A and B are shown apart, each in its own frame.
Chain A
Amino acid sequence: EIVMTQSPATLSVSPGERATLSCRASQSVSSTLAWYQQKPGQAPRLLIYGASTRATGIPARFSGSGSGTEFTLTISSLQSEDFAVYYCQQYTDWPLTFGGGTKVEIK
């Protein structure tokens, strides 16, 4: 099983600042990585797939990068609606696995 490790567990950021979230895979997943955002009481929402392709309707302030085992989700200028939990997910092999999540909170 490919283990996905996200860091930090919690990120405190002021509105308007940049947030950088990390995701590491225990073995190479090439570019088969997705990012999701989840707000309290809501279902997850797809942000990024293919490590760097924004999903339909996702603002340009969200960007993904990386390949192999190291990935980054960057939110260039945090808006109030961006405070949430973010998960990465690999889909290169079964079982599909998620990272433990990074909570982005208001500083």
Chain B
Amino acid sequence: EVQLLESGGGFVQPGGSLRLSCAASGFTFSSFAMTWVRQAPGKGLEWVSSISGNGGYKYYADSVKGRSAISRDNSMNTLSLQINSLRTEDTAVYYCAKEKSTWGDNWFEAWGQGTLVTVSS
């Protein structure tokens, strides 16, 4: 059974940094692209960043480009998202999601339960 468990969320002041992690199990992690999607309170879904199975391809939403970094450790089955210079508009539940293949099938067939990031002074 595919399991995705996010961690690292919490309360942070504007301008601060956070590193989110997603522990994956139940599948061959290195064979699948992974993605972060976020959802602000009471709002819809927003794609944040994706990374290919071998880590060679990375894409970012404009809203986080230049102040975030997606990475993966295929030996530890872990996906990460570092976000710097946090803004109040980054407040959201952050989900990690598994894609269908190593790259190119950019829909999300499994999701974690999410980790809440609150940016406030």
Contact = CB atoms under 8 A, between A and B. Distances in A.
B46 interface: yes
Given A44-B95, A98-B46, A55 B109 contact: yes
Interface string B101-121: 000011111111110000000
Nearest to A45: B111
B111 A43 contact: yes
B44 A97 contact: no
Given A43-B113, A100-B44, A95 B108 contact: no
Contacts, number: 54
B44 A96 contact: no
Main SS of the interface on chain A? loop
Q: Interface size class for chain B?
A: 20 to 34
Interface in A56-107: 56, 87, 89, 91, 94-101
Interface of A: 34, 36, 38, 42-46, 49, 55-56, 87, 89, 91, 94-101
Interface of B: 35, 37, 44-47, 50, 59, 61-62, 95, 100, 105-114
17 contacts: A34-B107, A34-B108, A43-B112, A44-B111, A46-B107, A46-B108, A49-B105, A87-B44, A87-B45, A91-B106, A96-B47, A96-B50, A96-B106, A98-B44, A98-B45, A98-B47, A101-B45
